Amino acid sequence: MPRTLRITSRNAAFQQWQALLGNRTKRQRAGEFLVQGVRPISLAVEHGWEIRTLLTADGPGLSRWGRDVLETAGAPRALLSAELMRELGGKDEEAPELLAVVGLPADDLGRLPVRANPLVVVFDRPTTPGNLGTLVRSADAFGAAGVIVTGHAADPYDPKAVRASTGSLFALPVVRVPSHREVLDWAGALDVPVQIVGTDERGPVDIAEHDLTGPTVLAIGNETHGLSAAWRDVCDHMVRIPITGAASSLNAAAAGTVALYEAARQRRSA
């Protein structure tokens, strides 16, 4: 049986877990992050992620869900007071039943599944964890093979990004790379030619008029400046999402969601 720790104070172990919530550097150094919420924890276990520790409140017995997670994950358990669990859970009014400390996967493009007709999303330099998590959720919902995050960007393992993904972070690969170059090398090594399609409000073609049924890398720019000049230069096509009303543009995650829906629509009809 996995060992059980009992944490009664804000000791070194607690401080390490707390640092995982707000300090990206410490997440990277420790190679782990803290996961909050029933669905994200369930999907992390279901998809075989490395569960390093399960944190539970030292109090009433666990629910059926909590017992199942403990049994399936087989990870060491730490019992914390309700007050300490509330601090880590991010909710003032109640202590979460379970929290999970999960190992970070490698940022390796080899994690992306090689499919005959891949659809992969690139998010270039996203600045907001919530937007990044939302796009991961949309990529999962509309059948993308994975999400690639390029450049100096928000962290997909930030608690806000994990929550916004509603667990989809654990269902499809999300890989961080320094620039467009790594993506081009990966795409060039595939057995099929891949088109790179960028989105821009001034793109010359409406997205619905461009064929997205073949192997595609769909590039979404960041919230303020859109795609970088480097990404624009390597895109084979630039498309726009037509909008009306007083809005000058769409939120980056919303634009990515629309583009993914259009790709899925075309592929269903092909």
What is the distance, to the nearest Å, from the Cα of residue 48 to the centroid of all Cα atoms in its chain?
16
pLDDT reported for residue 57: 87
Q: pLDDT 10s per residue in the chain (270 long)?
A: 456 777 777 888 899 999 999 999 999 999 999 999 999 999 999 999 999 999 998 877 889 999 999 999 999 999 999 899 999 997 767 889 999 999 999 999 999 998 889 999 999 999 999 999 999 999 999 999 999 999 999 999 999 999 999 999 999 999 999 999 999 999 999 989 999 999 998 889 999 999 999 999 999 999 888 999 999 999 999 999 988 776 667 889 999 999 999 999 999 997
Integer Cα distance of 182 and 161 in angstroms: 23
Integer Cα distance of 112 and 106 in angstroms: 11
pLDDT reported for residue 60: 74
The structural domains of the chain, ordered by start, are 4-103 (3.30.1330.30), 109-269 (3.40.1280.10)
The burial class, CB within 10 Å (0-12 / 13-18 / 19+), for 214 is middle
pLDDT reported for residue 172: 96
pLDDT reported for residue 1: 46
pLDDT reported for residue 245: 77
The burial class, CB within 10 Å (0-12 / 13-18 / 19+), for 162 is buried
Give the CA diameter of the chain.
61
* Three-state DSSP string of the chain: CCCEEEECCCCHHHHHHHHHHHCHHHHHHHCEEEECCHHHHHHHHHCCCCEEEEEEECCCCCCHHHHHHHHHHCCCEEEECHHHHHHHHCCCCCCCCEEEEEECCCCCHHHCCCCCCCEEEEEECCCCHHHHHHHHHHHHHCCCCEEEEECCCCCCCCHHHHHHCCCHHHCCCEEEECCHHHHHHHHHCCCCCCEEEEECCCCCEEHHHCCCCCCEEEEECECCCECCHHHHHHCCEEEECCCCCCCCCCCHHHHHHHHHHHHHHHHHHC
pLDDT reported for residue 270: 77
pLDDT reported for residue 68: 96
* Three-state DSSP string of 256-269: HHHHHHHHHHHHHH
